[in-house]
Amino acid sequence: MSCHNPDYYCEVIDNTNTVVGEDLKVSSWSGNLPGTPGYNPLVRENGVNIVYKDEPNNLIKFATTPKTGPLFKVSDIASYGTADVSSLSVSTDANYFAAATFSSPSYYGNDIVLARPAAAYGKLFGDGCGFTMGTWVCDVALTAERYSKPGELAAIDVNGGNLVSIVHNQYYPIRDFHGLQILRQEDYKMGLPLIRR
């Protein structure tokens, strides 16, 4: 597909409906070569990971540049029904797997959810993302409480040791105040599976 600017290449990623791509976030990688640290034979040498909402279908979707086949492969991360999710963010870890975050409504507010591909844990299928046999694993990283609620803005990053950091704007309703907060996985406090290769 041609662009108006000859220096760029344009490609349609997902055209399933008229309201697709809301709250999109992107992360890219390069250098996935045999013999290099973190080499992953499942993904391309250089590529792009994208997360976004498919509003009418109530899905959080993931698009990536696969090893072979079409330029982009689209899959579903999570199904959220009629709930209003936000705080989408994506990063790429040292083994070239994606790590995504989003907020999902709960009793006191929005919980922050960490989503990783099941393959990052050495599994074929995941759970906890609204699908019985999905391909992602979802875990609540931070639960909303009565006096302290995750805000609607978040960003995720994964360091070289595959430990996740999530920055978000925590909301304190009693003081009507937002504060910037970071969640960090640490070796000695790990509750979620630690992925090192």
Residue whose entry in the numeric block shows the structure tokens 């993302």: 129
Q: Round to whole Å and give the CA distance between 26 and 48.
A: 7
Q: What is the pLDDT of residues 97-153, one digit of tens each?
A: 999 999 888 888 888 999 999 988 888 888 778 777 788 999 999 888 888 888 778
Query: Which of 112, 113, 86, 85 is CA-nearest to residue 170?
Result: 112
Q: Round to whole Å and give the CA distance between 105 and 176.
A: 19
pLDDT at residue 83, as a whole number: 65
How is the chain split into domains, by residue range?
20-30+43-188
Query: What ranges in the chain are assigned the alpha helix state H?
Result: none
Q: Is 123 exposed, middle or buried (0-12, 13-18, 19+ CB in 10 A)?
A: middle
Residues in contact with 196: Cβ distance below 8 Å, sequence separation at least 6, in sequence order: 161, 162
Q: Is 143 exposed, middle or buried (0-12, 13-18, 19+ CB in 10 A)?
A: middle
The model carries a pTM of: 0.84
Are 98 and 116 within 8 A, CB to CB? yes
187 pLDDT band (50/70/90 cuts)?
low
Q: What is the pLDDT of residues 156-166, one digit of tens each?
A: 999 888 889 99
Q: Round to whole Å and give the CA distance between 165 and 184.
A: 4
**Alpha-carbon 91 to chain mean position:** 7
Q: Is 44 exposed, middle or buried (0-12, 13-18, 19+ CB in 10 A)?
A: middle
Let me know if domain 20-30+43-188 sits in CATH 2.120.10.10.
yes
pLDDT at residue 126, as a whole number: 85
Give 196 or 174, the one with higher predicted confidence. 174
The sign one gets for the Cα dihedral 136, 137, 140, 141 is negative
